[in-house]
Structure 1
């Protein structure tokens, strides 16, 4: 259980929430884990399969405390909303920002600033830790290009210009990506990013992990009351969670890319975990998907220090914390959205 940004995160998967004297009480079997006054929090996010008592749900509605339910793995189930339902005002403001480029541009710039910072950090960390095994000159060159790209973000005057800077920076980053693969280079290599379908094992792994991350970001946005389908940088398309794609940009290098590389470089994922299909695409097979999913859950349980809050949290909570920071930015409680820049 953690309390961050006036939000109570209940992470014990077999816990049950009840009401006692206007307090939310967290139970695990016959044991009381915690008691928190409802008046001291704005929201509860429960990642437990046991749920909460009707009395607590009613009191949360009365006190205007948001109560969102997720599976222990982070899949969004539903939210309990009171009569005042601040989500309506929050979403209306989200839509207004999305429809006005001068307002959406600063938030989109923050997303990309976080992405480029984390891309550069991934390169720099590999260069530092494996100096004798990688092409230091190439990595340094592309790291410098990412640094230069970060300096130009503030000068972008449109979303299209921002997309151009991000696209060129991504090319620089992926140009050096093959140097980050340190094991079984005959089976795992990277020439260029390929999707729909992925054309090699590394791209197949990245695509699968990106899909997992996008799901977590979508769940996080739904839990805080934002519409994951209305974005600030990715254009709206039927069935595409544009805001989730916006949010995950800053997480791709630090969470997804590092995770995928660690699976390959430690030998956790092998060439036999993939299959080729008739269209020439390469995909994880059933055993490969099971291996990655199990490792993904273990990875999300590892703890880090959040760079903005300076609090220890699990990797799995990062999208939820950033979604909360985004809601505060949209409501005007923060002057600017603080991107996730971890080092």
Structure 2
């Protein structure tokens, strides 16, 4: 089965139009056509793109998500059909679960998934570098084991209301993150000058790449999965409520950040696809407001989309990483409706 296309609009003077059941992308004399049935989503990161209402109508009719984002990848609007799948009952139970043990169990599971994937990714990289750099491999493996110890402490946490336990879970998550990013810094080229994780507004190369990967690629995929499962993207459990904050999307993203984004970006440097000095935009590209160079963004998109389509094993089933984002959203619904007594976070082995 061929990969569905993501149309990425990130340049000045680009026009997205429609020709019957096709999307037409034009810039000057250059023109590309995409059959609607082959398009999965449309991502627009430039303020100088023109889109026809007819093209947007075609996207809505075919359930094609349209994401509007900044150059850094941060989405500020998503266009989706008003008619969605999923039951109203699931959303009602989602709100009720916040006040009972289900909210705590889900929040705890999201943290478990995140930190176990952090540990397993470090141990996988250690295994692959054991012959080439035994000292680094030992450090990475040891770091993974330290995160495993934090995981056990999360496992021991008990509670019946997430408001009473959120700070404890977040503190353990932060402890694991410090170990993880310290280890990741040892893997990356020195030219990246990576000194730890920074989120919004980061201008250093690797943090800017991480932010773009999380926001422009992973976030829209999880948003779509959550909405199609019939859940409210703003009513989360681990991430606290805040106006405009898609807390449930951020919750579920925790299980996939390492295996989708972190692993892909680390690989781009280890395989010399991207060089540190080429990451940030310069010259005209920087003047346009870009953070990352256009060629770097394209390399990232190729790697991230390929990773989403990569087949993996989880829960006794083989499927693409992307398919598990959708099945995990449905598993949240099954747990909320008490069809399933447990919710198992997405975790890949090493």
- TM-score, length of structure 2 as denominator length: 0.70
Relative to structure 1, is the Cα distance of residues 245 and 140 closer, same or farther in structure 2, using a 3 angstrom cutoff? Answer: same
Residue 291 (structure 1) shift: 2.6
3-state SS of 1:304 partner? strand
Q: 1:154 and 2:161 equivalent?
A: no
- CA spacing shift, 1:76–1:201, aligned 2, 3 Å: same
Within the candidate set 77, 80, 99, 2:80 is matched to: 77
Task: Give yes or no for contact 1:68–1:79 (8 Å, CA) kept in 2.
Answer: no
SS, match of residue 291 in structure 2: strand
Residue of structure 1 equivalent to 2:74: none
CA distance 1:49–1:87, shift in 2 (3 Å) = farther
| Cα 1:186/1:161, change in 2 over 3 Å | closer
Matched, 1:292 2:300: yes
**Aligned counterparts, 1:133-212, within 5 A:** 133=133, 135-156=136-157, 157=159, 158-181=165-188, 185-211=189-215, 212=217
TM-score (norm 1): 0.72
Partner of 2:239: 234
Specify which of 328, 341, 347 is matched with residue 341 of structure 1: 347
Unmatched 5+ stretches in structure 2: 6-35, 41-60, 68-77, 160-164
Q: Which runs of 4+ in 1 moved over 6 A?
A: 10-13
The equivalent position to 2:255 in structure 1, one of 237, 242, 250, is 250
Change (3 A) 1:12 1:167: closer
- Size of the aligned set, in residue pairs, is 276
Equivalence for 1:213 = 218
| C-alpha deviation, 1:197, in angstroms | 2.0
Q: 3-state SS of the aligned residue for 2:81? A: strand
Question: Residues 1-343 of structure 1 correspond to what in structure 2 (within 5 A)?
Answer: 48=37, 69-71=63-65, 77-78=80-81, 80=83, 87-98=87-98, 100=99, 102-131=101-130, 132-133=132-133, 135-156=136-157, 157=159, 158-181=165-188, 185-211=189-215, 212-270=217-275, 271-275=277-281, 283-305=291-313, 307-308=314-315, 310-343=316-349
Q: Which ranges in structure 1 are unaligned for 5 or more consecutive residues? A: 2-9, 14-46, 52-66
Could you tell me whether the CA contact under 8 Å between 1:300 and 1:315 is conserved in 2?
yes
* Distance in 2, Cα, partners of 1:200 & 1:239: 27
Q: Distance in 1 between matches of 2:4 and 2:305?
A: 14
Once residues 324 and 68 of structure 1 are traced to their aligned partners in structure 2, the CA distance between those partners, rounded to angstroms, is 21
